[in-house]
Amino acid sequence: MSGKHNGVARILRNEAKYAFYVHCHAHRLNLVIVDTVKGIPDAADFFALLEKLYVFLSRSYVHSKYKGIQSDIFPNETPRELPALSDTRLACRYISCRNVRDRLPAILKTLEEISLEDNAERAIDARGLLGQLDFFFAVMLTIFSTILQESKGLSDMLQNPSLDLAKATDIVGNFKCGPRDMRSEKDAFDAYWEAASGLATSCEIPIDTEHRPRRQRRLPIRLQDSVVTKRLMAEEDTSTTKESIKIHMFYSIVDTITAEMNKRFSTENCQIMRGIQSLNPESI
């Protein structure tokens, strides 16, 4: 036990020195997503942009305008707000992706109107954000909306007080198969691409097929006086072409999630948890 019950684990180990500590499954799952985001530059950029959108749309003047535009475009639906992102709450990342995806037309119109206003500071900020909400953003938004929706469903189940360790292990095992299947299925990425294309079309975002880098990579200082004859791994660019996004971004996401799941939910730990559950008299 840890967190608000900090110190209980030490007391238990003083009484039973061979007691096995089982970390919260839901927290482990959250760490999988956090490490995935931080480990992939394009994913880190994407969520940093979501945070910038939240900060900008939370300003009192912008918030009232955004809310009014939502009501005009979606008259029969409740306005949705963007939550602040947190490394300790998986749900906020999913809600942010979902709300941006579902309210992207209103977000774009808000930014367009503010970019034409006389307030220079707000106009410049709006133009900067507007320029980054391109087709690549739509692809990332579509992928993470789906992955985080599945992750949140698993997280909710893992936080159920009535869920035993054996059942939790089965649920985690099933979830671990998801990214692996997406990696192996030939048409898995095509579904995300089509959904992103539909989202971009509905929001009048140009479907960019030009091969262009998202970031300009600089040669490391230690190599500036050297002759580099081979392309560096860190210099591989991420373009907006379908094949490049699939290879350099989509596969990176599913491979990183798979690796993190295997690290935090190893076969050995799952077997131990099953053994612990078998000792519970209520499971007999």
pLDDT digit string (tens) for the chain, length 284 residues: 455 566 777 787 787 776 666 667 677 788 888 888 888 888 999 999 999 999 999 999 999 999 999 999 999 998 899 998 887 787 889 999 999 999 999 999 999 999 999 999 999 999 999 999 999 999 999 999 988 888 888 788 777 777 666 777 777 777 777 777 777 777 888 999 999 999 999 999 998 655 444 555 555 566 555 554 444 444 444 444 788 888 888 888 988 988 888 887 776 666 666 665 554 545 44
Q: Note the pLDDT of residue 22.
A: 62
CA gap 198, 191 in Å, rounded: 11
- As a whole-number percent, the residues of the chain with pLDDT over 90 amount to 35
* Sign of the alpha-carbon torsion through 131, 132, 136, 137: negative
* Sign of the alpha-carbon torsion through 155, 159, 165, 171: negative
Grouping H, G, I as helix, E, B as strand and the rest as coil, residue 40 is: coil
Closest C-alpha to 65, from 116, 27, 10 = 116
CA gap 187, 177 in Å, rounded: 16
pTM of the model: 0.76
DSSP 254-271: HHHHHHHHHHHS-HHHHH
Q: Compute CA 213 distance to the chain's CA centroid, rounded to the nearest angstrom.
A: 21
Q: Note the pLDDT of residue 6.
A: 65
What own/partner pairs with CB < 8 Å and gap ≥ 24 does 93-98 have?
Answer: 93/33, 93/37, 93/47, 93/144, 93/148, 94/145, 94/148, 94/149, 94/151, 94/152, 96/50, 96/54, 97/50, 97/141, 97/144, 97/145, 97/148, 98/145, 98/149
- What would the pLDDT profile of 191-241 be if each residue is shown by its tens digit? 999 999 999 999 999 986 554 445 555 555 665 555 544 444 444 444 447
Domain coordinates of the chain in residue numbers?
25-206+235-283
